[in-house]
Amino acid sequence: MKAIKITVKGLLINTLDVYLDEINELMTVFSSAKRFAFKRLVENKIKKGELEKLISHKYGINIRQSKDAVESARQMIASQKALVKDYYENYSKKVKGIERQLEKAKSKKKIYGLTKKLDKRKEKLKFYKEHLDNNTIPKIIFGGRKNFVRRCKGLISNEEWKDLRDNNYYSRGDKTKKGNPNLRIVIKNNMTFLEISTLRKTNSNRAVKIQVPLYLPQKLSKKTGKVNGRNYRHMVLDYLLTGEAYQVELIKKNNKIYCHITIDESKISDYKEEFNIYNGVIGIDTNPDGLALTKLDKDGNYKWSVYLKESELLYARTNRRENICG
């Protein structure tokens, strides 16, 4: 059975201030290591193994954390290269579409407007083609380009800017270590904790570990007392019993620390395979007057979106409404 990855979004709760300081320090060091790895991988002047050892020595982190920083940077570059290809294909279609409109246009005003639009589209097409031909990616600003502009204008403080850049810590799993050695989920007295390997060392040069309460989503119905939708908490706890590897990512946002846990759903005994995403996936959002559709490819990259509007849904009878939706 092929692997089916699913990510469960949890939240660290009741975190002591001293633990928050340690988690923030861990995120700052890891984010710096990731940015360093990103630049070295883009330059392509050092081998991956040598880069991992260099980062481990430079930032004082263990080799597993160093490997995770390099892998996180590699995934970012691979994602950007996939986006460059998608953008090039999209702008190629846009250029051809405007050229067809120009052939049919008659008024000078419309021809002028389409010509200006065509020039802009061709400029973008040329931009992405150069990156595609040279196997490069556009410049990346960690923390976001909009936030960088806000910082330049003095709209956010230097501390806020650093929080936006240093808001992430990522750890891959390891089956030989029974799950995840640096960010491990543990159960104590029927409570769930995330055990974090900090940057502090013991006398024997081992990482000091802290345990922070972890909330996993489990929404109970007020009427029935049963779980609404999928029981993600139960799913994660069942997965821990398998001893398989799981990936954990900590993301700091709005003064909260979210915990994204990625597991292989096919490893759970009661899992039944019902679908695959070899050809991508389409998400559907229902609205009072229509349906919003978004397509992602098999790697999770955006392909297209469309809104199917039907105002009759607002006042149609039940049977009629179901027919329209169909």
Q: Which sequence spans correspond to the domains of the chain? A: 5-79+141-267, 281-325
User: Which residues, in sequence order, are CB contacts of 72 under 8 Å at separation 6+?
Assistant: 34, 37, 170
pLDDT score at 75 = 92
- pLDDT higher than threshold 70 for residue 284: yes
Range with the lowest mean pLDDT among 62-76, 110-124, 267-281, 290-304? 267-281
**pLDDT score, position 48:** 92
Rounded Cα distance between 147 and 157, Å, is: 11
Q: Which two tokens stand for residue 154?
A: 């003095």
pLDDT of residue 230: 77
Compare 263 and 286 and report the one with higher pLDDT.
Answer: 263
Residues in the chain: 326
Spatial separation of the C-alpha atoms in residues 97 and 139, rounded to whole Å: 28
Mean pLDDT of 267-292: 74
**pLDDT tens digits, residue range 109-131?**
999 999 999 999 999 999 999 99
119 vs 64: CA distance, rounded Å:
49
Which pLDDT band holds residue 271 (cuts at 50, 70, 90)?
low
Q: For residue range 298-325, what is the model confidence (pLDDT) as tens digits?
A: 777 888 888 888 878 777 777 777 777 7
- Chain mean pLDDT for the chain: 88
Q: Are strands 5-12 and 256-264 parallel, antiparallel or unpaired?
A: antiparallel
Is the pLDDT at 99 greater than 80? The verdict is: yes
Per residue in 167-215, pLDDT tens?
999 999 888 888 999 999 999 988 999 999 999 888 888 889 999 999 9
Closest by Cα among 307, 306, 305, 297 to 83? 297
274: confidence class by pLDDT, cuts 50, 70, 90: low
Q: Position 264: which residue type?
A: D
